[in-house]
Amino acid sequence: MENHTLNGMDRVDPNLRDEMLAELFLDQMVSDFKRSKILEEIDQSLKDKDKEAFLRLTKELKSVS
């Protein structure tokens, strides 16, 4: 499926394609960063035995794509 999508990208203007790929890459990097930070905060909430923070953060983690 992924190859099919990439093959379709061959028909897109090269500049637009590069812009789209860069945007996808940046979106993924931001998402990964947010996820990493939330996981660190979850670890800290477990160390602190802070159930309220843990529940809030796990809910927030589910919303990060």
pLDDT digits (tens, 9 = 90+) for 43-63: 999 999 999 999 999 999 999
Residue 4 has pLDDT above 70, yes or no: no
The closest of 8, 28, 26 to 17, measured between CA atoms, is 8
Mean pLDDT in residue range 14-20: 90
Question: How do the residues of the chain divide into helix, strand and coil, expressed in percent and rounded to 5?
Answer: 85, 0, 15
What is the percentage of the chain residues whose pLDDT exceeds 70?
A: 83
Q: Whole-prediction pTM value?
A: 0.72
The answer to whether the CB of 62 falls within 8 A of the CB of 33 is: no
